[in-house]
Structure 1
Amino acid sequence: MTSPKYINSELSNQFQNAVKMSTSPSASFMPGGSPSQFAGSPPSSYFPAAASRRASMKTPAPKLLKPFATEDIKILLLENVNQAAVEMLQSQGYQVEFHKTSLNEDELIEKIRDVHAIGIRSKTKLTARVMAEARNLVVIGCFCIGVNQVDLEWAAKHGIAVFNSPFSNSRSVAELVIGEIIALARQFTDRSNELHQGIWNKVSAGCWEIRGKTLGIVGYGHIGAQLSVLAESMGMSVVYYDVLPIMSLGMAKQVNTLDELCREADFVTLHVPALPETENMISAPQLAAMKNGSYLINCSRGTVVDIPALIDAMKTGKLAGASLDVYPNEPAKNGPYFDTALNAWFEPLSKLKNLILTPHIGGSTEEAQSAIGVEVGQALIKYINEGSTIGAVNFPEVSLRSLTLEDENHVRVLYVHSNVPGVLRTVNEIFAEHNIDKQFSESRGDIAYLMADISGVNAEDIRELYDKLERTPFKILTRLLY
């Protein structure tokens, strides 16, 4: 198998190659030229003056900024965050504390008090009680798709930006679903379990090819769309339901209601977030609408399926099989903790035939975890070092181009404040004695975020700017980078 380091290199190379791809006219539009002669952009000899200008132009090196009034940046990483992220963050000179497991609430409160950033996956719960103990916390990295384990509103109101990785494990989840579709159709997990017990049970009754069957996808986002393409390549028809009108890929068809999808599909797979609107969205009425002998797959969130209703549908034979990768309550760590004490329906569920139960492993591949580590790690670095919030899930998205080594005596102001009238006037009065090179502000609900680069400042000016901004009545968080 390919190692994560090679994967990172491969992704980087693919990206660089994509950037280098020429948008010049193809050879067929260039008379007298052979394809090999004109592959890529024209050589510099065609445009000697332009080539000379390009050669003389140099991009100024970015300036490494450091935080004002802050000691070394401390980062806490939990739940065995991928080593790609650990190495990236350590390379920035941050103090990184790494744990392979999650922590209970009391342990977490003790650890989080002095850190500036924390990286988690799905098991760690960052509640208001936990975050209230964090004196220096400015950013949270969720090394996964979901962010429902974080109190996003509380974090935003206290100037803490939250980043996640919404796309990096899409392929891994889609491939798992394809595997589960085939496994359910052929009942091969039951046959495997029987043979482990010495039972030879070669049967074909109730076993099917997936070619010619209909897959119903609930939620046609990044995972659903990739799954759609994979399913069609294997000869399946695809229908999908989404609350938004979304252009289909291939021959997939969007249906108007969830019930319509349930009636048409042989396999129903769920790819929606955990929201009040999606809680128990598959319950007794939806299961009753599904075809007799159909299959249900849930790799989204544990609250989406009414599991007691699913058990009843399996027992009556309404469903021929099901696969669950997520559950309403999941253990905080690996071990013998998935039991009746955690979920009351565990015992009847575990006795069902042709039921695949997996421990939330949809995105648990080396490739996905490496890509997630890189994506979220880069987001944390960009926010800590530059103040960029592009990709934040709870924060106004603001970014300014990097300061360069040519920008001497500059300070970058990062000012999180209440979204009320009069703030910009007050702040610009504080800036009035200095030159504002660039400034940008954006709001999101009750929170606003202002970035500004100010030139012609010395150490005393920076201290004065910081103190004045800290005293403003609208201030949520002030950071200065210089």
Structure 2
Amino acid sequence: MESIRILNPRFRKALVLENPHPILDETLRSQGFEVERLPESATRDVAGVIATLERGQHDLLFKRSRFEVTDEVLAASRRLAAVMLCCIGDDSVDKDACARAGVLVLNDPVSNGRSVAEMVLGEIICLARRIFVAHEAGRQHLWTKESWGRYELLEKNISVIGLGNIGRQVAQLAHAIGMNVYFYDQSETAREVGRTLGWHPCATLAEAFRVGDVVTLHVSAEDAKGRSNRNIIDFEQFRLLGAERGENCPRVFVNAARGFLYDPQALRRAVTEGIVRAAAVDVFPDEPGSSSDAWENPYADLGAVTTTPHIGAATEEAQPRIGLHMAHSAWLLNTRGTVRDTVFNPKVSIGFDVEPPYTALAVVHSDSRGTKKAISDAIFEAGRNNIESNHRDFARYGIAYDISAIDAPLSDDQLSGMIESARTISGDATAIRSIRQFPVTEGQN
């Protein structure tokens, strides 16, 4: 069993990186966690973080979007059960490595949505009215009172690329001020939601750019099939912005999603050639690890491009919401084995509603044929009553999560037998990746 993660029955140690809101630490401590928080500068000290994990053998690792989780980081704590992302983006985590190690990855896809959406709408208004330009002129003691190049947004078209939580909120705000909402999303569920709300689906990215007076990006790092969204937009799409809208078109572009969705040189060319009249960029392909690190702004010489340092979710309201959300996700995982908001299968909650007391048996295993049967057989052969179970495959990553409520725990020998049976039936030596068995009682904190 030495190659398998045998997780602590009750999680007690949490390591916190990248300075999420302190309410996270406070709430975790109220749940009984020993919380170790490293300074923001630790993001650059990978060896130091690994040494901390090796020394502390933490159960949970909380982080935001910069520190990269690799095989080496995962190997540092054999007790590590989950990487807890205090953000939406998961591209700083090697998810395949986590799957191989039997480590779950959870995020918060909801808490920062309003903050990002408000910033995006504010930028769209400011860009369409050239408010940033007027501000800079005023700082030079220039009085530039003119209507040229300034536009109302009433009856203008906004094309929202990606109709997830944030994209949908941007669309709702834009609709509320009288804009016509167009959207592009490959998910049929998202398309149905958009159509139900009276918005106009676009068949292709090119169509979304052609019909938009404003184009705003809200897509994730990967599409629904696990394919990277890197460079999904190129100069040819930028060249089409507002092509069907005539001259009375603000031709505004906003990106508060991912920095690698296009090459900055493509946007630079579109701006310098006058195709994109104004842009706001909050995310970049290469972002510094902390505020003290040097950074080369790829748009520093372009007055038509407003840049911000990835602050879409940086509000006094969003950050404590994220901290509370992730602390509650930790509580659910710790006390019930419930998995919510896993990046392996977004929008799915895995658990059950069983009255305690019972023993929970939670297993991360390969999706090799026969592995699930080996777990069920082990429970039956041990003479245990399987009160209820829940199983979810994460096919993209070749693993599954299985949790069962049983009336008494399995012995070490019975767990070893389950592991060997899973290996034999599946033909996969790594069929079982991690195991956790723990009591669930009434009034459990």
- Tell me the TM-score normalised to structure 1 length: 0.77
Deviations along 1:262-300, one digit per CA (max 9) or x if unpaired, are: 122111111111235532222211111123651111111
Q: Tell me: CA distance 1:418–1:108, structure 2 relative to 1, closer, same or farther (3 Å).
A: same
What is the SS of the residue equivalent to 2:310?
Answer: coil
Alignment-derived partner of residue 266 in structure 2? 309
Distance 1:424 1:234, change over 3 A: closer
Aligned to 2:257: 300
* Aligned partner of residue 404 in structure 2, secondary structure: strand
- Conserved? CA contact 2:271–2:304, under 8 Å: no
Change (3 A) 1:176 1:412: same
Query: How far, CA to CA, are the matches of 1:100 and 1:188 in structure 2?
Result: 37
Aligned counterpart, 2:173:
230
Cα deviation, residue 123, structure 1: 1.0
Matched, 1:84 2:23: yes
Q: Does 1:382 align with 2:321?
A: no
Picking from 141, 145, 148, the partner of 2:84 is 141
Displacement of 1:463 in angstroms is 4.3
When residues 121 and 337 of structure 1 are mapped into structure 2, their CA distance, relative to the original with a 3 A threshold, is: same
Residue in structure 2 matching 1:271, options 218, 225, 229: 218
- The structure-2 alpha-carbon separation of the partners of 1:73 and 1:262, relative to structure 1 and needing over 3 Å to count, comes to same
TM-score (norm 2): 0.83
Change (3 A) 1:72 1:146: closer
**Other structure's SS at 1:303 match:** coil
Conserved 8 A contact 1:466-1:480 = no
For residues 263 and 429 of structure 1, the distance between their equivalents in structure 2, rounded to whole angstroms, comes to: 58
Is 1:73 the equivalent of 2:12? yes
Which residue matches 2:385? Answer: 436
Conservation of the 8 A alpha-carbon contact between 1:72 and 1:95: no
Displacement after TM superposition at 1:119 (Å): 0.6
1:96 aligns with 2:25: no
Q: 1:228-287: CA deviations, max 9, x gaps?
A: 221122121221111234132644211222222212211111111123553222221111
Partner of 1:475: 432
Read off the aligned partner of 1:171 and give its amino acid letter. R
Q: Distance in 1 between matches of 2:158 and 2:20?
A: 34
Work out the CA distance in 1 between the residues paired with 2:332 and 2:151.
50
Q: Which shifted more, 178-187 or 229-238?
A: 229-238
After superposition, the Cα gap between the structure-2 partners of 1:103 and 1:392, relative to the gap in structure 1 and judged at 3 Å, is same
SS at match of 2:83: strand
Per the alignment, in what secondary structure is the counterpart of residue 319 of structure 1? coil
- Note the C-alpha offset of 1:394: 2.1
Deviation at 1:99, TM superposition (A): 3.2
Q: Distance in 2 between matches of 1:187 and 1:362?
A: 20
Partner of 2:291: 334
Aligned to 1:10: none
Runs of 4+ residues over 6 Å off in structure 1: none
SS at structure 2 position matched to 1:369: helix
Q: In structure 1, how many angstroms separate the alpha carbons of the residues matched to 2:434 and 2:102?
A: 6
Name which of 237, 247, 264 aligns with 1:286: 237
Deviates more, 1:416-425 or 1:226-235: 416-425
Shift of 1:205: 2.1
SS at match of 1:177: helix
8 Å CA contact retained: 1:268, 1:296? yes
Which sections of structure 2, spanning at least 5 residues, go unmatched?
A: 1-5, 424-430, 440-445
How far is the alpha carbon of 1:439 from its aligned partner?
3.9
Letter of the structure 1 residue corresponding to residue 365 of structure 2: H
Q: Point out the structure with max Rg over C-alpha.
A: 1
- 8 Å CA contact 2:62, 2:84 repeated in 1: yes
Show the 5 A alignment for 1:81-480: 81-101=20-40, 102-104=42-44, 105-113=46-54, 114-245=57-188, 246-247=191-192, 248=194, 250-275=197-222, 276=227, 278-291=229-242, 294-335=251-292, 337-339=294-296, 346=298, 349-394=299-344, 398-404=350-356, 407=357, 410-431=358-379, 432-440=381-389, 441-445=391-395, 446-456=398-408, 462-469=411-418, 473=423, 474-480=431-437
Distance 2:408 2:204 in 1: 60
For this pair of structures, how many residues does the alignment match? 402
Question: What's the CA shift for 1:469?
Answer: 4.3
For residues 164 and 264 of structure 1, what CA distance do their matches in structure 2 show?
34
Root mean square deviation of aligned Cα: 2.5
Q: CA deviation at 1:69?
A: 5.7
Alpha-carbon deviations, 1:112-151, whole Å to 9, x = none? 2211100111111112222222221111111111111111
Residues 7 and 79 of structure 2 are in contact (CA less than 8 Å); yes or no, is this contact kept in structure 1?
Answer: no
Deviation at 1:478, TM superposition (A): 1.5
Alignment check: 8 A CA contact 1:411 1:462 kept: no
Residues 133 and 212 of structure 1: CA distance in aligned 2, closer, same or farther (over 3 Å): same
What is the Cα deviation at residue 384 of structure 1? 2.1
Please say if residues 68 and 481 of structure 1, whose CA atoms lie closer than 8 Å, have aligned partners that are also in contact: no
Distance 1:423 1:269, change over 3 A: closer
Closer, same or farther: CA 456–179 of 1 in aligned 2, 3 Å: closer
Out of 221-230 and 270-279, give the one that drifted further: 270-279
Q: 1:103 Cα shift?
A: 2.0
Q: For each residue in 1:200-227, what CA deviation from the matched residue of structure 2 results, as whole angstroms up to 9, or x when unmatched?
A: 4333321222223211111122222221
